[in-house]
Structure formats: C-alpha cells, structure tokens
Amino acid sequence: MVTLRGISNRLGMMKKYALYTLKSGKPPIYPDRLYIEATNTCNLNCIMCPKGRGEMERGEGIMSLDLFKSIMDEMGPHVKAVVLHIWGEPFLDPHIFEKIRYAKKYGVKTELSTNVMLMDEQVVDQVFESGLDVIYLCMDGVTKETYEKYRCGGNYEQVMERITHFIGQKNARGSLKPYTNLQIVDMRSNHDEIDEFRRRWSIKGVDHINIKALDTWGGQIDDIKELGEAGGEPTQERYHCPNLWYHAHIYWDGTLVCCDRDFEAAYPLGNVKDGVMKAWNGEKMAELRRKHCSLELDDVPSCSNCTEWSWWKPSLFRSWGNIPRK
C-alpha cells in the first residue's frame, strides 16, 4: 500500500526537481540517497582504482558505529536508500552487518559493492540474515590472467568459488534478496570477454549483469585512459551535476564531499558530526551548487573535467513515479 512516508518522499523529490531545474543554490531539503563510506581500507590494489593505484593519500579508517547511528537517526526517516560503500572493501568493517541492520530499522534500501575475496561462509550467512537489499559482486574478468591483471592481490579461484557459493545459497534459501549484480569494468584487455561474462553469469540467482564504463575519476588520473576508452563521455552541452541536489556522500570520518570523484576530500563541504543537514544545507554546499549552475568549476578539480554529470538527469516524471511501497 502507498504510505504517507512514500508520498512525502515523492513530494520532496518534486521540490528537489524544481530547485535543480531552476538552478537554485538553496537547500533542496533532504537528499534521497546517502553514500556512506564504511571504510576506505582495501585488501586489493586494483589498477583502475585511485585507492589501488596509490593515488589516494587521504588517511584510512572505519566509520564508527556511533557516527553511523547518528547519521541514520537523523536521516533514516527521510532517505530512500543507503549505499554502504564509496571507497574500500566494506567487509573489512567489523560492524558492517550491524550497520545494515540498523539502517533497515528505518525501512530504507541498503546496498554495497564488494570484491568478494572476504565472502566466506560466515560472511555469506550474515549477508542474508542482515536483510541487505542490493549487492554488487565485482569480477572484472572471465579468465584468471585477466582477472588477476586488474584485481591485483585477488585470487581468481577463490573469487569464483565464493561467487558460486553465494549464488547457490541464495537459490537454496529461495531468497529474492539481495538483488545480485555481477559487475565487470569494460577495459581494453577484457573487452573481448564481455560476451562470455554475460553468458557465464546469466544464471538463476544473478539478477543483473552490470557492464560498467571505465572511469577516469573526474579526469584527475590521465593514464587510466591507457586501460581503455573511458565511458560516459558527454554528448551534449554540460549541465549542472544532479548529485548536489539528490545524493549525499559521506566519508568514514564524517566529511561531506560532492561525490567519490573528490577521493582526497580536497573540497570538503562540512562534517556530519555536526549534523548531516547542517552540512547538506550549509554555505559551502550552496556555494558549490551555485558554481555548478554557472559552470564556474575551474577551482574544483574533482568537478572541472568530470563527465559523471552526463550519466543521468532528473525528470519530473522520475520524481513523481514509483511511490515507495512497504
């Protein structure tokens, strides 16, 4: 049935759409999605990732359970989804399942992305028991040679066995959750494996095959393009990025940033330890929205050469449709 919260969320989405379309720097009330960095530590050194390449100098850490709970207590009644992954491997967070369960108390959708290496039988059991809604299993190759070229430190046989076990458990339990994505980043050395990747994982228990375009992370790492043609290149005149009106990105220490393209937190917009909405509606965020509306972004390195703005654009229909149901 349609809920009052669902109707309220959709009215809020319409207001956000109006503020975005009118290029207003004013606060767009609540974001509809929270991207929360459970941790930025990682067990792999993937060559297409700023973290894995050693480009990220920002300190490592794990978001405290207390900080996560304070974020959810403030935002849980208002947001639609919480993505417990920005950088790092979320299963390195010893409190990750407690965080998922705490978010689920507020009826929000929970998502995360993993490199699968840590998904032993105990972790798989907890994935199902936690109520996680969406999971991305990242593989990036069909053959051992290709996989281990990109996922440095990964073990092809172990990942294959753990994906197979996870999907087997999902089918054995008759579970529809989590919605399971098998993901591969499309690069020069694995491009010819894409069709085989689709065939191999088009099986019961896998809900979606995600072919992800190579990312240059806001144009900040030029030699990533050597791995293949970057996707998401704009084909139209630039417009202001929707992220600043719709999605809040929060690093493990509470720093609010425009999105994951600011992987160093070089342009911090506040800290949610003082309140998420205080930062989301603060002057620094309003100033960045104004810069985007006027396209004056030369002094914002993570935004000036970014192409993510072109990957999606809000619409009034999208804002009104699909009223959340419980």
- Say what the pLDDT of residue 9 is: 60
- Say what the pLDDT of residue 319 is: 45
- Extended strands (E) in 14-75: 33-36, 45-46
Mean pLDDT of 253-280: 95
Greatest mean pLDDT among 2-6, 179-183, 259-263: 179-183
Percentage of residues in the chain with pLDDT exceeding 70?
A: 82
Query: Of all helices (H) and strands (E), which one includes residue 301?
Result: helix 301-304
Cα–chain-centroid distance for residue 15?
Answer: 24
Query: If phi over 0 gives left and psi between -120 and 50 gives alpha, with beta otherwise, what is residue 187?
Result: beta
- pLDDT of residue 264 exceeding 70, the answer is yes
- pLDDT of residue 139 exceeding 70, the answer is yes
Q: Which residue has the higher pLDDT, 229 or 184?
A: 184
- pLDDT of residue 124 exceeding 90, the answer is yes
Percentage of residues in the chain with pLDDT exceeding 90?
A: 62
Q: Which fold has domain 31-314?
A: TIM Barrel (3.20.20)
Inter-residue contact 244 to 292 (CB < 8 Å): yes
Query: Of all helices (H) and strands (E), which one includes residue 21?
Result: helix 4-21
d(CA 295, CA 32): 24
Kindly list the domain boundaries of the chain, sorted by start residue: 31-314
Inter-residue contact 51 to 87 (CB < 8 Å): yes
- Say what the pLDDT of residue 325 is: 28
Mean pLDDT of 11-36: 71
- Say what the pLDDT of residue 1 is: 54
Three-state secondary structure call for residue 34: strand
- Say what the pLDDT of residue 324 is: 32
- pLDDT of residue 69 exceeding 90, the answer is yes
Outline where 57-155 has alpha helix (H).
65-75, 96-104, 121-130, 144-150
Q: CB-side exposure of 106: number of CA atoms within 13 Å? A: 21
Relative orientation angle of helices 121-130 and 156-173, to the nearest 10 degrees? 40
Query: Of all helices (H) and strands (E), which one includes residue 279?
Result: helix 276-280
Greatest mean pLDDT among 2-16, 136-150, 161-175: 161-175
Mean pLDDT of 44-65: 91
Tell me, what DSSP letter sits at residue 214? P
